[in-house]
């Protein structure tokens, strides 16, 4: 270890001790001095035989002890599982990257099996030269890698009228964050040559719903990706294999899966879209449309209803996720008293625009109940609103774009519940 890293390690340990890690050390010392622990003194079954050979699972799965870290749906939310949604187990994950296998799915007409050799992407409409790309063609363009969150506009949508679902997975799990490899859409549009009248693109998927969406050309030429890998491997079927659109910072429904056609058009093609679905109801009943950007939001993932505190008073790591469709998260505050006082959390990966940011508050729990909240700020200066503030503008009958501050009531037992504070 180099001299500098030694120094910073010592500094870290001092900081950790100040934050209450001393109690953890005391518990660990007590454990060392207690009666002989068979886990230490006796040969265990896993050490008295041989383990599994290398080819037991050619494509690995999580160990069976982690079998509850899975996507879950809420059966009463939708009429059937085909046009439905499930939720990422964010309460059980750490870091920022969502493994594809537990990343939420949202389909309007089910996930389809589309082979690479059957994949065609057409670019037509107001272009100099209509083009059709095969999967192999796409692989021959220069590609880039970027991490972005994808949040369904309906995330937290069940919570408008009151605290509803008991767990971060269900209240905030319509989100995932992956590293995408793909070709900038700009490259393909330039290849086709956009005519000056072209101001929007209308994008379609190959599934029965097609999930057609109109996107302003400005965004299409800015940072939209035609992606074919996620977290290093092929997209999973449920996330749009073999190719999906990645629309950084914008609501999930624009991220067209099983990409099929991009038509350059003069204006939005609303007749072919379900635009009325993705509007925001305001307090006076008026609907607001074209609210594509996902505003700053955050959630404490642990402790939370599905991730209770399982130890006594002393050191406690409070952690969660924050994000903003308008840029990087600049600050996250955590409150233990329902928003009366705030402490600034530590950001694990600051400065990543339009990607999940992990925060930690390394704190000491005195064993009393808490009303836990987190509040995100982004680089534009925007501050995540309280539920009351959002309701003033949006009423209680909205569905989409609920980015309010969430409250978990953590009891003396360590269990937590979804509540509202006035």
**Contacting positions for ligand MTE (CB under 6 A):** 103-108, 150, 152, 176, 205, 207, 209, 211, 238-239, 252-253, 255-258
Q: Is the separation of the CB atoms in 105 and 229 below 8 Å?
A: no
CB of 128 to Co ion, least distance (A): 34
Which partner in ligand MTE, Co ion, none is near 256 (CB below 5 to 8 A by kind)? ligand MTE
Count the neighbouring beta carbons within 10 Å of the beta carbon of residue 96. Answer: 19
**Whether the Cβ atoms of residue 272 and residue 261 lie closer than 8 Å to each other:** no
User: Which is closer to ligand MTE, CB of 103 or CB of 168?
Assistant: 103
d(CA 301, CA 366): 20
Q: Within 10 Å of residue 262's Cβ, how many Cβ atoms?
A: 27
Q: Which residue's CB is nearer to ligand MTE, number 240 or number 315?
A: 240
Judged by CB under 5 A, how many residues of this single chain contact Co ion? 4
Query: x/- binding map, residues 202-241, to Co ion, per CB under 5 A?
Result: ----------------------------------------
What does DSSP assign to residue 139?
Answer: H
Quick one: which segment of 109-117, 228-236, 248-256, 300-308 binds Co ion (CB under 5 A)?
A: 248-256
Residue number, nearest CB to ligand MTE: 205
Among 383, 295, 389, residue whose Cα is nearest residue 331: 383
Q: Which is nearer to ligand MTE, 116 or 391 (CB)?
A: 116
Residue of minimal Cβ distance to Co ion: 152
One residue of 253, 330, 357, 403 binding Co ion per CB under 5 A = 253
Give whichever of 10 and 289 is closer to Co ion, judged by the CB atom: 289
- 106 is an interface residue for Co ion by CB under 5 A: yes
Q: How many other C-beta atoms lie within 10 A of the C-beta of residue 243?
A: 27
Min dist CB 252 to Co ion, Å, is 4
Q: Which of 199, 211, 231 is nearest to 275 (CA)?
A: 211
Q: Considering the complex, state which of residue 252 and residue 320 has its C-beta at the smaller distance from Co ion.
A: 252
DSSP 130-166: -EEE-HHHHHTS--EEEEEEEE-TTTTGGGSSS---S
Instruction: Give the residue with the Cβ less far from ligand MTE, 150 or 370.
Output: 150
407: enclosing H helix or E strand: strand 407-410
Residues that bind Co ion (CB under 5 A): 106, 152, 252-253
């Amino acid at each position: 270890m180099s001299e500098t890293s030694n120094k910073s390690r010592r500094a870290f340990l001092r900081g950790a001790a100040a934050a209450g890690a001393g109690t953890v050390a005391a518990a660990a010392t007590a454990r060392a001095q207690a009666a002989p622990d068979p886990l230490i003194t006796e040969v265990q079954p896993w050490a008295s035989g041989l383990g599994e050979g290398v080819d037991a699972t050619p494509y690995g799965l999580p160990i069976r002890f982690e079998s509850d870290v899975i996507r879950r749906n809420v059966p009463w939310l939708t009429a059937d599982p085909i046009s439905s949604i499930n939720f990422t187990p964010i309460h059980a994950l750490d870091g920022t990257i969502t493994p594809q296998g537990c990343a939420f799915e949202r389909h309007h007409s089910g996930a389809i099996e589309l082979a690479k050799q059957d994949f065609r992407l057409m670019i037509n409409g107001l272009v100099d030269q209509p083009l059709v790309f095969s999967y192999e063609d796409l692989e021959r363009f220069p590609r880039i890698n970027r991490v972005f969150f994808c949040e369904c506009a309906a995330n937290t949508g069940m919570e408008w009228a009151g605290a509803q679902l008991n767990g971060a997975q269900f209240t905030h799990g319509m989100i995932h964050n992956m590293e995408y490899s793909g070709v900038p859409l700009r490259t393909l549009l330039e290849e086709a040559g956009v005519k000056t009248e072209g101001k929007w693109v209308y994008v379609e998927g190959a599934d029965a719903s097609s999930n057609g969406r109109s996107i302003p050309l400005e965004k299409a030429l800015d940072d939209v990706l035609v992606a074919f890998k996620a977290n290093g491997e092929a997209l999973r079927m449920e996330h749009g294999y073999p190719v999906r659109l990645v629309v950084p910072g914008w609501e999930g429904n624009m991220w067209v899966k099983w990409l099929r056609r991009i038509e350059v058009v003069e204006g939005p093609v609303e007749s072919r879209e379900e635009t009325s679905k993705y509007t925001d109801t305001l307090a006076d009943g008026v609907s607001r449309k074209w609210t594509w950007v996902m505003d700053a939001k955050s959630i404490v993932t642990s402790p939370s209803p599905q991730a209770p505190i399982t130890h006594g008073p002393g050191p406690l790591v409070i952690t969660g996720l924050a994000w903003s469709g308008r840029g990087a998260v600049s600050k996250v505050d955590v409150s233990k008293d329902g928003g009366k006082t705030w402490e600034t959390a530590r950001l694990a990966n600051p400065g990543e625009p339009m990607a999940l940011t992990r925060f930690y508050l390394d704190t000491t729990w005195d064993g009393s109940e808490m009303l836990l909240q987190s509040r995100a700020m982004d680089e534009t200066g925007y501050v995540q609103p309280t539920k009351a503030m959002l309701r003033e503008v949006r009423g209680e009958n909205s569905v989409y774009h609920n980015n309010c501050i969430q409250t978990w009531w953590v009891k003396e037992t360590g269990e937590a519940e979804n509540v509202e504070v006035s």
